[in-house]
A and B are shown apart, each in its own frame.
Chain A
Amino acid sequence: MKVSLFVTCLTDLFAPDVGMAVVKTLEHFGCSVDFPTAQTCCGQPAFNNGYPAEARALAVKMIDVFHDADYIITPSGSCCAMIRDHYIELFHDDPDQRKLAEDFVARCYEYVEFLTKILKVDLSTLSLPENETFTYHFTCHLRGLGATGEPAIRLLKQLGGAQFTALEKAEQCCGFGGTFAIKYSDISGAMVRDKVQCGSKTGAQTMIVNDGGCAMNIGGACHRMGASFRVQHIAQIIAAAVEHTAGAKAS
């Protein structure tokens, strides 16, 4: 299966490991992965702040960059939700571009969604290098995709050596929200501290956060507060299991 990666601007700059984990795991599951280098940003910040014309220009570019991709996969829930929820509506007055948008949107998937709905992977043959306890934060924008965290938690639980503990108020927003975190930092700070406290209460070693922005927010608060769990994208965990399992087989 041929897939194209939309890595997103945040992941490109701040979390190259997440992008690489997505590439390697998709290859492991039999996909051939391609990375169109002309890609930039989906336009979410512009759209969310009230600049639909600017977002529209970026959407045109996205659609063009990925015009011949079979599937477009992104590790970021919110970017995928931006595309799903708003791309078609952005071209309400341009039937031709709207058609292109519809076609693009239908090929676009968030990473976990793609693993579970299209590839239908089973991770029970994989195991982690060491036993690890996980908790899972429901990144808000999965809501926009009509998905909750359940598929991701199911995947996690399949991994050998993975233990899962539920997060209190798992579906409560971490307080990122793009410019919100900066402009309304008092409120955002109270929200993210709540998230970190709930995370600490689980006693888990790792909190899974499947969105670049949320991960920066929760990770930064963990560090400020001295919390002991780490924040990871699920692709990083699966990649570690893939590598470990391959290594174990080889030896």
Chain B
Amino acid sequence: MNSVKESSSPKRGLSLPVFHPDFMAEAHAASADAVLHAALDNSVTKKDYGRRSSLAELPDADGLRQLAGDIKRHTLDHLDYYLELLERNVIKHGGAVYFAATREEANDLIVDIARRTGSKLVVKSKSMVSEETELNDALIAAGIEPLETDLGEFILQVDNDHPTHIVMPVIHKNAAEIGHIFARYFKTPFTDNPQELAEMARVYLRNRFNQADMGISGVNFAIAETGSLVLCTNEGNGRMCTTRPRVHVALMGMEKVIPALDDLPVFLKLLARSASGQALTQYTNIITGCRRPGEHDGPEELHLVIMDNGRSKILAGEYRDTLRCIRCGACLNACPIYRKVGGRTYGSVYPGPIGALLTPLFNGLENHKHLPHASSLCGACFEACPVKINIPEFLIKLKRDEVQQGITTRSERTVFKLWAWGLQHAWSYRLGQVVQRVMLRTMGSKDGWIKKLPGPAAGWTAQRDFPIPPKHDFRYAYKQYRSGKNRAK
């Protein structure tokens, strides 16, 4: 797992880093990993049930999801207006605002701010968008020390690893693994007691918060009307990062803005419930500007970096609704495929159903051609999504794009076209059915099942048996039945 440096050589120009490019190899290994499956069932599957029951407590959860989706759609339809409003209001409260077109630009801006403010140690609260920019690498390259303060992210940083879940980054490691990582790092005796492990990190991080010059956070929601930045966390480290150091830098994707303070409760009601089944996260910070004269705490400087990094391209096309995502992770928890392959298999920063959509949209289909297909289109993600992103439908659209861009193989395209043509006519359909029946009936073994199918269909029998079609099809049975009935009359 200590392979971050060699594996993270992203192709230049990609909007998202690619850590594990070989989807099929990763999927193959993870699908056979019973320990991983048990761990995921214990975490994500449970969270999924938590989501269901906590949403059921609301009088009209579905109506609320609709409203949340509508607010997001409205905001995205008028994004330039709301971003300008946000900028004005952040500045009004003493903050500075920057727009970054790419992730490299975002990193450069933040490194610059660190340099200008003489910051040597930077404490970070959990932020997926900083994973997107690989901000830690950029800081280190500039001689600045980044320190993750979310427990999960801290473990990953110490172990040179990447998150595999949007909300529960370290879900792929069990307590024993974490115990070994900490024993190595802190040079203390091994323990796998979660409380003791958390305490070790807490004591260490406490100290370092006091030494930090700069805090970096993400943004869950940015309120245009008030210029407020909303941060939802469970550990309280986010509050430490944004109040203790002299300088606070917040990094957000440009889709994170919402119009007004009144809209916030809609999202707060849904975010924690969807993510973990909690009614609210433990800490909800609404940060408006930096420290004012006479106030005791808060940073002296507040900088907001608003990043595009490919979002405006998505915004302009038919995939706009994917930008509604509030990164709650509910679609990951609900996804039967995520539960079998884990986050690593998706290769980049955003795993699960939303990742299968965003990664190709950001990085190009040709670089991630498996992601839209590696879905059974079961619809669990759409059902779970608090802002009603119809993920399966978008995956189908991506597959259509692959066909149109010639990314799928010519032979596959020919097969589909022939097949569809054959189904145009009852006679060719019947012929096809008869041929299939005759062929399949020669392949069966004595127990009435086929153990090995030829060609591409071998994938089926690699995992399960295939039924031999009965001697007569439904049409025949139906005809017999009708003529029998007529005779009886």
Name the one of B31, B396, B436, B456 contacting A47, with C-beta atoms under 8 angstroms: B396
Does A1 reach chain B (CB closer than 8 Å)? no
Does B442 reach chain A (CB closer than 8 Å)? no
Nearest-CB residue, chain B, relative to A179: B373
Contact across chains for B424 and A61 when beta carbons are under 8 A apart: yes
Interchain nearest-CB distance for A38 vs B (Å): 5
Among the stretches B256-264, B270-278, B463-471, the one at the interface with A is B463-471
Does B362 reach chain A (CB closer than 8 Å)? no
Which B residues lie within 8 Å of A12 (CB)? 433, 473-475
The 3 A-B pairs of least Cβ separation, nearest first, read: A177-B376, A189-B463, A50-B399
Contact across chains for A54 and B420 when beta carbons are under 8 A apart: yes
Q: Interface size for chain B: under 10, 10 to 19, 20 to 34, or 35 or more residues?
A: 35 or more
Given A45-B419, A187-B374, 15 more A-B residue pairs with CB atoms under 8 Å apart are A14-B469, A16-B478, A39-B426, A41-B423, A48-B396, A48-B399, A49-B416, A51-B420, A52-B400, A57-B420, A173-B378, A176-B376, A184-B374, A190-B31, A221-B464
Which B residues lie within 8 Å of A193 (CB)? 463
Name the one of B376, B403, B424, B466 contacting A50, with C-beta atoms under 8 angstroms: B403
Contact across chains for B378 and A20 when beta carbons are under 8 A apart: no
- With A20-B481, A58-B424 as contacts: A50 and B408 at CB distance below 8 Å: yes
Does B477 reach chain A (CB closer than 8 Å)? yes
Interchain nearest-CB distance for A48 vs B (Å): 6
Contact across chains for A192 and B464 when beta carbons are under 8 A apart: yes
Nearest-CB residue, chain B, relative to A142: B379
Nearest-CB residue, chain A, relative to B470: A16
16 contacts between A and B (CB under 8 A): A16-B477, A40-B423, A46-B419, A47-B396, A49-B403, A50-B398, A51-B403, A51-B417, A85-B393, A177-B378, A179-B373, A182-B460, A184-B373, A186-B27, A189-B31, A219-B467
- With A23-B478, A140-B376, A185-B462 as contacts: A9 and B433 at CB distance below 8 Å: yes
Does A220 reach chain B (CB closer than 8 Å)? yes
- With A182-B459, A185-B459, A186-B32 as contacts: A46 and B420 at CB distance below 8 Å: yes
Among A16, A184, A191, the most chain B Cβ lie within 10 Å of the Cβ of A184
Which B residues lie within 8 Å of A194 (CB)? 37, 340
Bound complex: CA of A86 vs CA of B196, how far in Å? 54
Within 8 A of B (CB), among A146-183: 169, 171-173, 175-183
Interchain nearest-CB distance for A12 vs B (Å): 4
Contact across chains for A50 and B401 when beta carbons are under 8 A apart: yes
Interchain nearest-CB distance for A11 vs B (Å): 6
Name the one of B45, B424, B465, B466 contacting A57, with C-beta atoms under 8 angstroms: B424
Does B377 reach chain A (CB closer than 8 Å)? yes
Contact across chains for A16 and B377 when beta carbons are under 8 A apart: no
Does A223 reach chain B (CB closer than 8 Å)? yes
Which B residues lie within 8 Å of A178 (CB)? 376-377
Name the one of A61, A140, A187, A217 contacting B378, with C-beta atoms under 8 angstroms: A140
Bound complex: CA of A9 vs CA of B401, how far in Å? 27
Q: How many residues of A contact B (CB 8 A)?
A: 68
Contact across chains for A19 and B474 when beta carbons are under 8 A apart: yes
Interchain nearest-CB distance for A242 vs B (Å): 14
Contact across chains for B378 and A23 when beta carbons are under 8 A apart: no
Contact across chains for A58 and B423 when beta carbons are under 8 A apart: yes
Bound complex: CA of A178 vs CA of B399, how far in Å? 14
Bound complex: CA of A51 vs CA of B423, how far in Å? 14
- With A41-B423, A46-B420, A173-B378 as contacts: A221 and B437 at CB distance below 8 Å: no
Contact across chains for A46 and B416 when beta carbons are under 8 A apart: yes
Contact across chains for B474 and A20 when beta carbons are under 8 A apart: yes
Contact across chains for A48 and B377 when beta carbons are under 8 A apart: yes
Contact across chains for A224 and B378 when beta carbons are under 8 A apart: no
Which B residues lie within 8 Å of A16 (CB)? 470, 472-474, 476-478
Contact across chains for B467 and A220 when beta carbons are under 8 A apart: yes
Bound complex: CA of A104 vs CA of B339, how far in Å? 37
Bound complex: CA of A217 vs CA of B465, how far in Å? 8
Does B43 reach chain A (CB closer than 8 Å)? no
Interchain nearest-CB distance for B404 vs A (Å): 8
- With A12-B474, A20-B474 as contacts: A177 and B400 at CB distance below 8 Å: no
Bound complex: CA of A192 vs CA of B336, how far in Å? 10
Contact across chains for A19 and B376 when beta carbons are under 8 A apart: no
Within 8 A of A (CB), among B350-395: 373-380, 383, 393
Does B402 reach chain A (CB closer than 8 Å)? yes
Contact across chains for A140 and B27 when beta carbons are under 8 A apart: no
Does A7 reach chain B (CB closer than 8 Å)? yes
Contact across chains for A187 and B27 when beta carbons are under 8 A apart: yes
Which B residues lie within 8 Å of A250 (CB)? none
Contact across chains for A140 and B396 when beta carbons are under 8 A apart: no
Does A118 reach chain B (CB closer than 8 Å)? no
Contact across chains for B341 and A187 when beta carbons are under 8 A apart: yes
Bound complex: CA of A48 vs CA of B457, how far in Å? 18
Which A residues lie within 8 Å of B99 (CB)? none
Contact across chains for B477 and A50 when beta carbons are under 8 A apart: no
Does A203 reach chain B (CB closer than 8 Å)? no
Nearest-CB residue, chain A, relative to B29: A186
Contact across chains for A223 and B341 when beta carbons are under 8 A apart: no
Does B319 reach chain A (CB closer than 8 Å)? no
Which B residues lie within 8 Å of A30 (CB)? none
Within 8 A of A (CB), among B32-84: 32, 37, 45
Does A143 reach chain B (CB closer than 8 Å)? yes
Which A residues lie within 8 Å of B337 (CB)? 173, 187, 191
Does A188 reach chain B (CB closer than 8 Å)? yes
Bound complex: CA of A180 vs CA of B459, how far in Å? 10
Contact across chains for A188 and B463 when beta carbons are under 8 A apart: yes
Nearest-CB residue, chain B, relative to A5: B478
Does B429 reach chain A (CB closer than 8 Å)? yes
Which B residues lie within 8 Å of A233 (CB)? none
Which A residues lie within 8 Å of B459 (CB)? 181-185, 188
Does B449 reach chain A (CB closer than 8 Å)? yes
Contact across chains for B463 and A185 when beta carbons are under 8 A apart: yes
Does A216 reach chain B (CB closer than 8 Å)? yes
Name the one of A39, A55, A57, A190 contacting B340, with C-beta atoms under 8 angstroms: A190
Nearest-CB residue, chain A, relative to B428: A40
Does B28 reach chain A (CB closer than 8 Å)? yes
